[in-house]
Structure 1
Amino acid sequence: MATEPEDLTQPQRDRLAFIELRVRFLGEVRRQDLFTRFSIQAAAATRDLATYKELVPGNIDYDSKSKVYVRTEWFRPLFDFSTARVLTWLTQGYGDNEPVRHRPLIATEAATEISQPDLETLSVITRAVHRKMAVQITYRALTSGLTTREIVPFALADSGSRWHVRAYDRRSQEFRDFVLARITDAHFVDGPIADAERPDQDIQWNRIVELELVPHPANMRNPDTIETEYGMSDGKLVTRVRAALVGYMLRRWNVDCTPDHSLKGGENHLWLKNRQALYGVANLVLAPGYKPEDEGA
Structure 2
Amino acid sequence: MAPHKHQEKHFFYIEMVGYWQVHLAINELSDTFAVSRQRGSEIFKHYREAHPDNFYQAGNRWFANSEFSCHYINKSPHQYLNWLLGNTAFSANTYRPQHPARNIDADILRDVSIALTRQQAVDIRYTAMKGKPEERLISPQTLVFAAGRWHIRAWCFMRSEYRDFVLTRITDAEIDDLKSCHDLPIDHHWQEQVDIILAPDPRLDALRQQLIADEYAMIQGRLTLSVKRAMVTYQLHEMGISFPYTALSEIEQQLVIVNKSDVEAWCF
TM category, shorter:
0.5 to 0.7
Could you tell me which residue of structure 2 aligns to residue 135 of structure 1?
Answer: 122
User: Which residue of the other structure, out of 132, 139, 145, is the alignment partner of 2:132?
Assistant: 145
- With structure 2 as the length reference, what TM-score do the two structures score? 0.60
Which amino acid is 2:231 matched to? Answer: L
Task: Give the corresponding residue for 2:148.
Answer: 161
Q: Distance in 1 between matches of 2:168 and 2:194?
A: 28
Match of 2:237 among 251, 254, 260: 251
Regions of 4+ moved over 6 Å: none
Aligned with residue 124 of structure 1, among 82, 103, 111: 111
Alpha-carbon distance, 1:176 to partner: 0.5
Match of 1:156, SS state, is strand
C-alpha deviation, 1:270, in angstroms: 0.5
Equivalent residue, structure 2, for 1:269: 254
Q: Secondary structure at the match of 1:142?
A: coil
Report if the CA contact (8 A) 1:256-1:272 is conserved.
no
Task: From 181, 187, 190, give the equivalent of 1:193.
Answer: 181
1:1-297 paired onto structure 2 within 5 Å: 103-107=88-92, 108-114=94-100, 115-191=102-178, 192-195=180-183, 197-198=184-185, 201-219=186-204, 222-255=208-241, 257=243, 263-264=248-249, 266-278=251-263, 280-281=265-266, 284-285=267-268
Contact 2:122/2:174 (8 A) holds in 1: yes
Q: Give the TM-score of the pair, scaled to structure 1.
A: 0.54
1:276 offset after TM fit, Å? 2.4
From the superposition, tell whether residues 164 and 265 of structure 1 become closer, same or farther in structure 2 (CA, over 3 Å): farther
For 1:234, the aligned partner's letter is Q
Find the residue that maps to 2:234 and give its secondary structure: helix
Q: Deviations over 1:17-45 (max 9, x none)?
A: xxxxxxxxxxxxxxxxxxxxxxxxxxxxx
Q: In the comparison of the two structures, how many residue pairs are matched?
A: 180
Q: Deviations over 1:4-28 (max 9, x none)?
A: xxxxxxx9xxxxxxxxxxxxxxxxx
CA distance in 1, matches of 2:236, 2:115: 30
Alignment partners' CA distance in 2, 1:118 and 1:273: 41
* RMSD (Å), alpha carbons: 2.6
Post-superposition Cα deviations, 1:199-258, rounded to whole Å, max 9, x if no partner, equal: xx1121112001111111114651121112222122111110000000111123233556
Q: 2:203 touches 2:250 (CA, 8 Å); kept in 1?
A: no
Given residue 228 of structure 1, which amino acid in structure 2 is its aligned partner? D
Mapped to 1, the partners of 2:250 and 2:137 lie a distance apart of 41
Local SS of the residue matching 1:241: strand
Could you tell me whether the CA contact under 8 Å between 1:152 and 1:168 is conserved in 2?
yes
Q: Deviation of residue 144 (structure 1)?
A: 2.1
For 1:156 and 1:126, the matched residues in 2 are separated by 8
CA radius of gyration, larger in: 2
Q: CA deviation at 1:126?
A: 1.7
Conserved? CA contact 2:201–2:250, under 8 Å: no
* Aligned residue number for residue 52 of structure 2: none
| Residue identity (%) | 30
Q: In 2, are the aligned partners of 1:169 and 1:176 still within 8 Å (CA)?
A: yes
